[in-house]
Amino acid sequence: MEKKKIIVAMSGGVDSSVAALLLKNQGYDVVGMTLRLWTEDSSNSHGANNRCCSVEDVEDARRVCQMIGIPHYFVNFEKEFQEHVVDYFISEYDTGRTPHPCLACNDKIKFDFLLRRALFLDADYIATGHYARLTESDNGFHLLQGIDNSKDQSYVLYTLTQQELSRLKFPVGEYTKEDIRKMAEEAGLLVAGKPDSQEICFIPSGNYRDFVKERVKPKKGNFVDPNGNVLGEHPGIQFFTVGQRRKLGINSNDGEPRYVVKINSDTNEVVLGADEDLMETDFTANKLSFTSEVEIGSEIKVKARIRYKANEEPAVVVIKDGYADITFLEPQRAITPGQPVVFYRDEEMIGGGIIEDLKVDSSRSKATSAVAIS
């Protein structure tokens, strides 16, 4: 019987390396593929490693493939990554929203362009090192949270369709991170103790503000309180995100901390308020995606997550034409436009969308007129 061919997206890290090892041991015809996504001109670098996939990472992936006895290929997706991830990232910050580049990379690069490339090469599946699980029933495929709650990555996979799920494998999702490192060590893989990546992959310095500023000229505007009173001047909305307290460039004379509670791109204003002003229950989301069909007008009871490390909280989702109204049963802190909101039923991820709009209730706000530019 001919083996099923599977292409594993290999970053040079321990998770994708063990994913390839597990699939090889399960009898698949495994091919490792590393993606070249980002290369900055040396004149624009800041002394850090200036590649998304560094030379060291590519070499680690190649050596792992050699050790487990599978072929390794290196493919260039820089143009696609620039258009669908980097340009999106810059545009979102420039309009006062907070993007999620890993979601964009998964949606467009790994599960669109890479999947198409894999099918062109007559592969049956692609696999990644994401901590998530897949099951199949008479109703189709179901995407479940990874066994390791601390590493679960189902949140960044909400855009996957049934057609895409039918071609995907997530072998490490059945294990904890500790299990994965132990398997790598037992197999003698050189990446067994390699640290996890922490920063945005195309900004090795971690300073997204400088990255955006170098590409889009900031425009000064006003800080205002929730009632619209001007508090001072800000250097540009691209430097702020909802919930931010540090590096505001403005101090409160009454000693009370101030937070960014809303960013208004139409008026180029940054709204500052007290911590309680960040607590909201109602908002809208667009760019919806569900793993199964939903009807316009339907009301769905879910648990919803508004950021990667947040807990899922009970909410009601009302499906509209092209968007959804979401209401949490209890107020949530810093619901941030541009970030995903993802819906769960028990451990199954059923869909999600991008947070679009929320209200700021000025009646709850403390007086915020006593401020000074620092």
What CATH number is associated with residue 135?
3.40.50.620
The pLDDT of residue 359 is 54
Edge to edge, the sheet with strand 269-273 lists 230-234, 221-224, 269-273, 259-264
Does one domain contain both 139 and 177? yes
The pair of three-digit structure tokens given for residue 326, joined into one six-digit string: 């979401």
Average pLDDT for runs of 10 along the chain of length 374:
92 96 97 88 43 77 97 94 95 95 92 90 96 96 96 95 96 98 97 86 87 95 95 95 92 83 96 95 96 92 94 97 96 96 97 83 39 34
Does one domain contain both 14 and 92? yes
Question: How many domains would you assign to the chain?
Answer: 3
210 within a domain of the structure (yes/no): no
Does one domain contain both 272 and 284? no
Q: Could you tell me the CATH number of the domain that includes residue 247?
A: 2.30.30.280
Longest CA span, the chain: 76
Does one domain contain both 64 and 158? yes
209 within a domain of the structure (yes/no): no
pTM of the model: 0.89
Does one domain contain both 253 and 346? no
Does one domain contain both 76 and 175? yes
Which of 186, 207, 241 is the last residue before a domain boundary? 186
Q: Is 311 exposed, middle or buried (0-12, 13-18, 19+ CB in 10 A)?
A: exposed
Does one domain contain both 65 and 39? yes
Residue with the two structure tokens 């040079």: 12
Does one domain contain both 240 and 332? no
Does one domain contain both 245 and 292? no
Q: Which of 127, 150, 162, 98 is nearest to 9 (CA)?
A: 127
Does one domain contain both 240 and 131? no
Domain range for 174: 5-186
Give the active site residues: 105, 201
